[in-house]
Structure 1
């Protein structure tokens, strides 16, 4: 079981949270200008690194707020937890690629 620390509620078991996918994926500036292939890239394709990766999590059984976690995908070690208002931390290799 993984232990995540909600920035507002403190440490809780992972069963209290909901995974929200890759963090820092920017919404397209002009969505109507995108081709079908570009929409597919935005909607369905995400980075899948071995190592540090920035993810979104929601404390669904607690305060219900969203926050970001940098987690090592090979070891499941949580490297950093930060709110959406905080700047993206620099941890090890680039977390989540170039998106």
Structure 2
């Protein structure tokens, strides 16, 4: 069993959470201008890297709020959690980090 840290509620059992996919995927600026292939790419095509990855999670059995997390896809270990709108604390393959001090130097 794994504990996941909710930014609002603290650590809770993994069964309380739902996975929301890749974090930091921007909604298209002009959705009506997209063709079918572009919509399919926006809706279904996501990265699946090995290593640190920024993801969205929802605390569905608790506060029901969404948050972001940096998780290692190899070990399943959560490295950081952060609220929407906060800077990503650790550099990952799918979104640039904005807080270099939290990274412990250069990586």
TM more than 0.5: yes
Give the TM-score taking structure 1 as reference length: 0.90
Give ranges in structure 2 of 5+ residues lacking alignment: 97-107
TM-score, normalization by structure 2: 0.84
Q: Any unmatched runs of 5+ in structure 1?
A: none
Tell me how far apart the structure 1 counterparts of residues 5 and 43 of structure 2 sit (CA, whole Å): 28
Shift of residue 3, structure 1, vs aligned partner: 1.2
* CA distance in structure 2 between the aligned counterparts of 1:63 and 1:30, rounded to whole angstroms: 32
Aligned residue pairs: how many?
A: 96
2:44 matches 1:82? no
2:20/2:56 contact within 8 Å kept: yes
Question: Deviations along 1:38-81, whole A, 9 cap, x unmatched?
Answer: 11100000000000011111111111111001000000011110
Cα deviation, 1:5-35, whole Å, max 9, x if unaligned, reads 0011100011001111111000000111111
Distance 1:63 1:95 in 2: 29
Structure 1 moving runs of 4+ over 2 Å: 94-98
- Name the structure 2 match of 1:96: 94
Which residue of 1 is the match for residue 10 of structure 2?
A: 10
Q: Does 1:57 align with 2:65?
A: no
